[in-house]
């Protein structure tokens, strides 16, 4: 089908929630994508940090095809090896408690919110200004953005939005607080790292109030920032974290991971999902988690991130650069539109990246991106000046 045929189908049949760019991709390999015309692209978005291991990683393909030919679904009324092995691997790689598997980032945060309310019945969930935690009702209620929330009121009660300031956070957390939920680096807001002081203040406030601290690592996890989980680069250990996006190596899966203290807070019958922990997604996730845990890859993420950020800072239309590892945001000089720049990068340079706001670009290539590919992307961006 041609792009215009796809667009005709979209206009007639797809509920218009997305503003798609006019490209139809048909194939991916590593850091490269190809459209239906045979044009080759450099992918510096990775499906919004889903393809951390790169497109069509041979080990993911092997795990998925093997599992798909053997068993695709039985429900959580029974045992399957991939789900239990993935739960063990996720726990051992992070907080050491127990795992609830689900199918997306929003669902992982829904599970985290229910965990918090079991921990402190009726308690409030404190979230931060500019946060993004997903589009379902609980996750949306935790996403204090007027444009996303207002049309869908009334939201879930009990969410408190707080400024990103240690003193404000200390004041917002009270004995009524069940949890503080935050992204260690706010991804959708434009790659805004939270300060060490703010994270430490969140930890202290939660400890003092008996509340739980939950990190949404849906975007920052799976090696994206140069450690398997972003919290591992901070001085703060959360009580629980959520993962999704890159967890499945390209397949849809999410997870809530707890520390020991909250391991048995959710009880039999409290939560569930038909597809959760499906054997194919879990088989893919086991491979993705193993690849993203490799120290050599994580070291590469850190140095590649430095190279990317240094190169971006040299561009005449870039005002400042922020981020960690290969989660990178570039703030553009006044008057330059990030949306227009991302559009031109795609159409003129065949470079995939996105605008997180009118003046900021986000770059998050697969973690396997080479130094040459980083230089190639920077050369594409330099030609747009
Ligand atoms: C993408 C994202 C989500 C939502 O994940 P979905 O899989 O789209 O539901 C939640 N939190 C963060 C930090 C994200 O980046």
Q: What are 207-254's pLDDT values in tens digits?
A: 999 999 999 999 999 999 999 999 999 999 999 999 999 999 999 999
65 in a domain, yes or no?
no
Nearest atom, ligand 1, residue 188 CA = 15
Boundary (domain end) residue, out of 292, 312, 347: 292
Co-location of 257 and 346 in the same domain: no
pLDDT of residue 142: 98
Regarding the beta carbon of 364 and ligand 1, being less than 6 Å apart is answered no
Could you give the angle at which helices 279-293 and 81-93 cross, rounded to 10 degrees?
30
Distances in whole angstroms, Cα of residue 31 to Cα of each of 27, 55, 307: 11, 7, 17
pLDDT of residue 73: 98
pLDDT of residue 373: 98
d(CA 52, CA 248): 10
CB neighbours of residue 200 within 10 Å: 14
66 in a domain, yes or no?
no
Regarding the beta carbon of 219 and ligand 1, being less than 6 Å apart is answered yes
Mean pLDDT of the chain: 98
Q: What is the mean pLDDT of residues 86-94?
A: 98
Task: Tell me which H or E stretch contains 18.
Answer: none
pLDDT of residue 145: 96
Boundary (domain end) residue, out of 248, 276, 292: 292
Q: In terms of residue numbers, what domain contains 231?
A: 71-292
Co-location of 250 and 215 in the same domain: yes
337 in a domain, yes or no?
yes
Nearest atom, ligand 1, residue 136 CA = 9
Peptide bond into 17 cis (omega under 30): no
Co-location of 208 and 331 in the same domain: no
pLDDT band at 41 (very low <50, low <70, confident <90, very high): very high
pLDDT of residue 305: 98
Percent of the chain with pLDDT over 70: 100
Digit-coded pLDDT (tens) for 261-287: 999 999 999 999 999 999 999 999 999
Q: What is the mean pLDDT of residues 64-75?
A: 98
Regarding the beta carbon of 43 and ligand 1, being less than 6 Å apart is answered no
Co-location of 231 and 351 in the same domain: no
Co-location of 43 and 121 in the same domain: no
Digit-coded pLDDT (tens) for 282-336: 999 999 999 999 999 999 999 999 999 999 999 999 999 999 999 999 999 999 9
Co-location of 27 and 162 in the same domain: no
pLDDT of residue 128: 98
64 in a domain, yes or no?
no
312 in a domain, yes or no?
yes
CA 158 to centroid of ligand 1, rounded, Å? 21
62 in a domain, yes or no?
no
Co-location of 288 and 300 in the same domain: no
Boundary (domain end) residue, out of 263, 292, 321: 292
Q: Specify the number of domains making up the chain.
A: 2
CB neighbours of residue 313 within 10 Å: 12
CA 350 to centroid of ligand 1, rounded, Å? 26
Ligand 1 atom 6, closest CA: 105
Co-location of 299 and 154 in the same domain: no
Co-location of 318 and 355 in the same domain: yes
pLDDT of residue 237: 98
Co-location of 179 and 270 in the same domain: yes
d(CA 52, CA 223): 8
- What pTM did the predictor assign? 0.98
Encoded tokens for 246: 């890159």
165 in a domain, yes or no?
yes
Co-location of 212 and 259 in the same domain: yes
Digit-coded pLDDT (tens) for 340-373: 999 999 999 999 999 999 999 999 999 999 999 9
pLDDT band at 379 (very low <50, low <70, confident <90, very high): very high
What are residue 343's DSSP bridge partners?
Answer: none
pLDDT of residue 184: 98
Residue 346 near residue 21, CB atoms below 8 Å: yes
CA 382 to centroid of ligand 1, rounded, Å? 31
The CATH number of the domain holding residue 268 is 3.40.640.10
355 in a domain, yes or no?
yes
Regarding the beta carbon of 244 and ligand 1, being less than 6 Å apart is answered yes
Residue 335 near residue 375, CB atoms below 8 Å: no
The CATH number of the domain holding residue 308 is 3.90.1150.10
Co-location of 142 and 253 in the same domain: yes
Q: What is the mean pLDDT of residues 6-26?
A: 98
Regarding the beta carbon of 217 and ligand 1, being less than 6 Å apart is answered no
């Amino acid at each position: 089908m041609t792009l215009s045929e796809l667009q005709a189908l979209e206009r007639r049949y797809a509920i218009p929630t997305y503003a798609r760019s006019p490209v139809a991709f048909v194939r991916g390999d590593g850091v490269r994508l190809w459209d239906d015309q045979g044009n080759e692209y450099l992918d510096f978005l990775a499906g919004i940090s889903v393809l951390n291991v790169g497109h069509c990683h041979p080990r993911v393909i092997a795990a998925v095809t093997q599992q798909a030919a053997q068993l695709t679904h039985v429900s959580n009324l029974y045992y399957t090896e991939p789900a239990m092995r993935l739960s063990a691997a996720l726990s051992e790689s992070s907080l050491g408690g127990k795992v609830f598997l689900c199918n997306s980032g929003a669902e992982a945060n829904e599970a985290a919110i229910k965990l918090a309310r079991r921990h402190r019945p009726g308690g409030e969930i404190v979230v931060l200004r500019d946060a993004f935690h997903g589009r379902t009702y609980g996750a949306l209620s935790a996403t204090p953005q007027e444009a996303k929330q207002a049309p869908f009121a009334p939201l879930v009660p009990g969410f408190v939005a707080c400024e990103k300031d240690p003193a404000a956070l200390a004041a917002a957390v009270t004995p009524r607080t069940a949890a503080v939920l935050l992204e260690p680096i706010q991804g959708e807001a434009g790659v805004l790292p939270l300060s060490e002081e703010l994270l430490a203040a969140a930890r202290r406030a939660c400890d003092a109030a008996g509340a739980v601290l939950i990190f949404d690592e849906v975007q920052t996890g799976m090696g994206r920032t140069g450690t398997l989980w972003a919290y591992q680069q901070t001085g703060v250990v959360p009580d629980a974290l959520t993962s999704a996006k890159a967890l499945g190596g390209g397949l849809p899966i999410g997870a809530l991971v707890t520390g020991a203290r909250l391991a048995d807070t959710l009880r039999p019958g409290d939560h569930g999902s038909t597809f959760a922990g499906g054997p194919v997604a879990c088989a893919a996730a086991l491979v993705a988690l193993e690849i993203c845990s490799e120290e050599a890859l994580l070291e590469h993420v850190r140095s590649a991130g430095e190279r990317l950020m240094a190169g971006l800072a040299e561009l005449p239309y870039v005002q400042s650069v922020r981020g960690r590892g290969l989660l990178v945001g570039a703030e553009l000089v006044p008057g330059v539109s990030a949306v227009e720049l991302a559009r031109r990068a795609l159409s003129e340079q065949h470079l995939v990246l996105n605008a997180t706001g009118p003046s900021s670009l986000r770059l998050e290539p697969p973690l396997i991106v080479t130094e040459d590919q980083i230089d190639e992307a920077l050369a594409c961006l330099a030609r747009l000046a």
